[in-house]
Chains A and B, each alone.
Chain A
Amino acid sequence: MSTRIFGSGIKRREDPRLITGEARYTDDIKLPGVLHMAVVRSPYAHANIVSIDSSAAEAMDGVVAVFTGEDVDLAGIPTAWLIPDSDLKTPEHPALAKGKVRYVGDGVAIVLADDRYTAQDAADVVDVEYEELPVVVDPEAAAQDGAPQLFDDVENNIAFRWVMGDKTASDGVFNTADVVVRDKIVQQRLLPTAMEPRSAMAQYNPATQELTLWCTSQNPHIHRFIISAVTGLNENKVRVIAPEVGGGFGSKIPCYPDEALVSWAAIKLGQPVKWTETRSENYQITIHGRDHIQYVEMAASRDGKLLGVRATVYAGMGGYLSTAAPGIPTILHGLLYVGPYMMDSVYCESIGVMTNATPTDAYRGAGRPEATFLLERMVDMVAKRIDMDPAELRRMNLIPAFEDGHEVATTLIYDSGDYPAAFEKALGIAGYDDFRREQAEARGDGRYLGIGITAYTEMCGLGPSQVAGAVGFQGGLWESATVRVTPTGKVQALIGASPHGQGSETTLAQIIGDELGFPVDDIEVIHGDTTETPMGWGTYGSRTTPVTGAALAKASQKLKEKARVLAAHLMEAAVEDIEYADGSFSVKGSPDQSQSIQDVALMAHLAWNMPEGMDPGFEESQFYDPPNFVYPFGTHIAIVEVDANTGDIELKRYIAVDDCGPQINPEIVAGQIHGGVVQGIAQALCEGVIYDDNGQLLTGTMMDYTMPRADMFPNFELGETVTPSPHHPIGVKGVGETGTIASTPTVYNAVLDALTPFGVEGIDMPMTSAKVWQAIQSAQS
């Protein structure tokens, strides 16, 4: 039996450059003669631009130029997810505002100067006169008659109205159900906060008409065609390079005005131009996540059968529609309304609303955390209403195990799942029954313990391109990869996806190593440069391991077949007599006769002695379009203690049992879960954007926005089950977002469980100590 590198928690191949400071992120790259760009940004959330006087800035030493929206002849920044049947409006998004600004941070002018201090100084003295307009930041308020209007052609600020499900049928279920619970849930805005702020640097060669753009991108190939579209340059003259990228969480998917502006300025001025945002700028202009106001109801029978869920969602889009924004509170949200439960009725109306706030878009989980939260909140409310244990209610409604397809009411066909197994495993780790006894005793002592449980499944590994087209995504969702073996038997794997912290250089090398027998240290995974790498749609939606991984597995399998035929030829044996093990081909019955994969690679390159009809070289490419999404699943459990005197919440234990199919590198899988769980818990407990009524961002720095810190968390207790995806070449599912999807309701429900003796029905997130304390006081009065 051979040893498999697949399944081994080897150390990451990307780390040596990262732990020594040798990695090069965008802002670390320097070009001679580079100009620095600073953006003059609107201090008002909604205003007409009356005049712009840039003379003082232009007069400063070191300032090369100042440009306004009137000077910049770029096409508008496009929206690329045009959801059908929703009366979608896509209002124009100019790279710099023309005539009107729509959120604090909207770009008004750019300053180009010799260094970044001078650029910022000059931006500060560009004198812009504004005429303030009424402001609306709440998405529900913005959709009402009489609300301030952001765009003339977007009536009531409603950019789209998307409906899923049959309303009459849903009404029928709710009208006849024994039990209906309902709640208004606010999914507060969140700041993605990739630790590396966004940055972009452009260089233009007028002789060749080639533009090179280095930028913080999760999808350089998408950036390439958007930059091509907005600048008018041919796509084959645009090279986008995403060098080392310091996290994204969705916020580096969109193409922003800034990337277009450095490109434009570099072309205009004939000098390289760089821009790097400050953290305050990042909080003002880089997309925010969530921002839903959800009116949710669940219907159930008296004895605990879940019958249906329905919701009206007001989703704040901010001042412009970001790249993928319309798809997030719709396709990626409503389609998850069944979750892991046997529930036959779903209905969702999602209303996308323009508001005087930063544009929103995909943030880790993107639509699915908001769906999972509302489901799990409702399930706990049903349990309470019918006086049933919430674990028991979940247990009796979970879809039984299935191996090859299960169609649910949202029309999705889940690929595989064994929800009860993960559920029971998590309950076992938590010691659920013992906990309930401990909880009862603690209450007797005036200590308030609570437990929250989330059973979930989610759709990721985005996704079949045919589905992408049907739901209006302006692109495909396949990936491509090339496995190239050099004459000396070293591997370069070129991928179109663009990992930025996920450890894919290691995970994907393990796939190739496992298929072909090359040592992992001999495999380089190359990504991020549109000129070096084949086309791909990027790294998001937990898709790089499942989709790129499948492309690499299949390319590797093709190479192995070529190697088998060539090895047979070289050893003068029949192909069917060739056996393969651990990177070596041998002839059945004569084990002394063998050819290593490296030998074969060399002979394929030399091509001195090829079988009839075989082309030279040792390289294969593969496009891979997944036939379905993949559906990881699991159960998370949190145990908390609430101090009723202070409202402080202590997270005592967190258990996560996740099933992402076979784990290629368990250490990397665990790391994805740890990080995702913390991001989700932070939504429940500490993170939240605050705007005042004038649309001023009050959480505009890390001093004001509460990022999760190490001392908020215990060590996490992880478990797994392994259910392969039936449609995937190596069975794997994505795991990048599961932690975030499951953990918010888990902790939220745990806190409410702890507060049961006080009769607290709900607390708006984030559940800060002050809010918890206030809720206890209000419930008691």
Chain B
Amino acid sequence: MQISVTVNGVVQERDVDPRTLLVHFLREELDLTGTKIGCDTSQCGACTVHLDGKALKSCTLLAAQADGANVTTIEGLAVDGEHHPMQTAFWENHGLQCGYCTPGMIMATTAFVKDNPGASEEAIRHNLEGNICRCTGYHNIVKAVKQVADAAAGGD
């Protein structure tokens, strides 16, 4: 089937097998391999992308469901080569180790902080339930997200 998806600002028109998962469309068809597959069952969040501004897991969406939509992946998050504040915060706070969950973590938490500026540590931890990290013990991820959430609320 024919689909048209705007990915990181570029319109992508493709003929895809109707059963193609969005994550495979991004990785295989568009070569945007920053989006990862970690569990296949929507638990780990490594495949999180923004679909029309909402953080969604691309391993349980069909590419066809993104027809006509606007998708942002980790590759499209930086603007003019400037890291998004969440990318910077993960780097500054040692919020990643092997890096495999990181694109999904960053996509999930940027959407979260946008909707929840000034979120509490408890709210941040609760919201991370859909993203699994095996390396960091979450400690520094929470710290990174808190830094951005505080800044978004106008704090310092």
Contacting pair B34 A20 (CB below 8 A): yes
Q: Is A244 an interface residue (CB 8 A)?
A: yes
Contacting pair A195 B133 (CB below 8 A): yes
Q: Is B125 an interface residue (CB 8 A)?
A: yes
* Residues on the B chain within 8 Å of A25, using CB: 33, 36, 100
* Residues on the B chain within 8 Å of A78, using CB: none
* Residues on the A chain within 8 Å of B43, using CB: 701-703, 707
With A21-B75, A675-B136 known as contacts, the answer to whether A711 contacts B99 (CB < 8 A) is no
Stretch at the interface among A388-396, A499-507, A689-697, A756-764: A499-507
Q: Is B35 an interface residue (CB 8 A)?
A: yes
Distance of B131 from chain A, by nearest CB (Å): 8
Contacting pair A21 B91 (CB below 8 A): no
Contacting pair B99 A501 (CB below 8 A): yes
CA separation between A9 and B142, bound complex, in Å? 18
Contacting pair B34 A21 (CB below 8 A): yes
Contacting pair A247 B139 (CB below 8 A): no
CA separation between A564 and B65, bound complex, in Å? 66
Contacting pair A196 B139 (CB below 8 A): no
The closest CB in chain B to the CB of A283 belongs to B39
CA separation between A718 and B85, bound complex, in Å? 27
Q: State which of A27, A502, A707 has its C-beta within 8 Å of the C-beta of B132.
A: A707
* Residues on the B chain within 8 Å of A674, using CB: 136-140
Distance of A499 from chain B, by nearest CB (Å): 9
With A197-B38, A710-B138, A710-B141 known as contacts, the answer to whether A20 contacts B83 (CB < 8 A) is yes
CA separation between A677 and B44, bound complex, in Å? 20
Q: State which of B31, B103, B134 has its C-beta within 8 Å of the C-beta of A194.
A: B134
Distance of B107 from chain A, by nearest CB (Å): 10
CA separation between A675 and B128, bound complex, in Å? 16
Number of A residues whose C-beta is below 8 Å from B?
Answer: 57
The closest CB in chain B to the CB of A21 belongs to B34
CA separation between A19 and B77, bound complex, in Å? 10
The closest CB in chain A to the CB of B104 belongs to A195
Contacting pair A20 B75 (CB below 8 A): yes
* Residues on the A chain within 8 Å of B38, using CB: 195-197, 279
Q: Which residues between 93 and 145 of chain B lie within 8 Å of chain A, taking CB atoms?
A: 94, 96-103, 106, 121-122, 124-126, 128-129, 131-142
Contacting pair B92 A11 (CB below 8 A): yes
Contacting pair A117 B98 (CB below 8 A): no
Q: Is A22 an interface residue (CB 8 A)?
A: yes
Q: Is the interface of B mostly helix, strand, loop or mixed?
A: loop
Contacting pair B136 A15 (CB below 8 A): no
The closest CB in chain A to the CB of B74 belongs to A21
Binary interface profile of A, 1-43, with partner B (CB < 8 Å = 1, else 0)? 0000000010110111111111111011010000000000000
Contacting pair B140 A711 (CB below 8 A): no
With A195-B133, A679-B134, A713-B138 known as contacts, the answer to whether A701 contacts B91 (CB < 8 A) is no
Contacting pair A247 B100 (CB below 8 A): yes
Distance of A383 from chain B, by nearest CB (Å): 29
CA separation between A576 and B74, bound complex, in Å? 55
Count A-B pairs with CB separation below 8 Å: 175
Q: Is A246 an interface residue (CB 8 A)?
A: yes
The closest CB in chain B to the CB of A709 belongs to B129
With A701-B39, A710-B125 known as contacts, the answer to whether A500 contacts B98 (CB < 8 A) is yes
Contacting pair A279 B139 (CB below 8 A): no
With A197-B38, A671-B140 known as contacts, the answer to whether A246 contacts B129 (CB < 8 A) is no
* Residues on the A chain within 8 Å of B100, using CB: 25, 194-196, 246-247
Binary interface profile of A, 494-526, with partner B (CB < 8 Å = 1, else 0)? 000000111100000000000000000000000
Q: State which of B19, B34, B125 has its C-beta within 8 Å of the C-beta of A117.
A: B19
Q: Is A663 an interface residue (CB 8 A)?
A: no
CA separation between A676 and B90, bound complex, in Å? 19
The closest CB in chain B to the CB of A506 belongs to B94
CA separation between A25 and B31, bound complex, in Å? 13
* Residues on the B chain within 8 Å of A424, using CB: none
* Residues on the A chain within 8 Å of B136, using CB: 671, 674-675
Distance of A287 from chain B, by nearest CB (Å): 15
CA separation between A194 and B35, bound complex, in Å? 16
Contacting pair A709 B128 (CB below 8 A): yes
Most buried by A among B44, B83, B100: B100
Binary interface profile of A, 179-220, with partner B (CB < 8 Å = 1, else 0)? 000000000000001111100000000000000000000000
Contacting pair B102 A19 (CB below 8 A): yes
Distance of A497 from chain B, by nearest CB (Å): 15
CA separation between A500 and B135, bound complex, in Å? 10
Interface residues of A (CB under 8 A from B): 9, 11-12, 14-25, 27-28, 30, 117, 193-197, 244-247, 249, 278-280, 500-503, 667-668, 670-671, 674-679, 701-703, 707, 709-711, 713, 715-716, 739
7 CB-based A-B contacts, threshold 8 Å = A14-B99, A15-B99, A21-B73, A196-B100, A246-B36, A671-B140, A715-B121
Interface residues of B (CB under 8 A from A): 17, 19-20, 27, 31-41, 43-44, 46, 73-75, 77-78, 83, 87, 90-92, 94, 96-103, 106, 121-122, 124-126, 128-129, 131-142
6 closest cross-chain pairs (CB), A and B: A21-B34, A501-B98, A246-B100, A18-B99, A674-B137, A21-B74
14 more CB-based (< 8 A) A-B contacts, given A22-B34, A715-B142: A14-B99, A15-B99, A20-B78, A21-B75, A117-B20, A245-B98, A246-B100, A279-B40, A501-B97, A671-B94, A674-B137, A675-B136, A675-B137, A703-B41
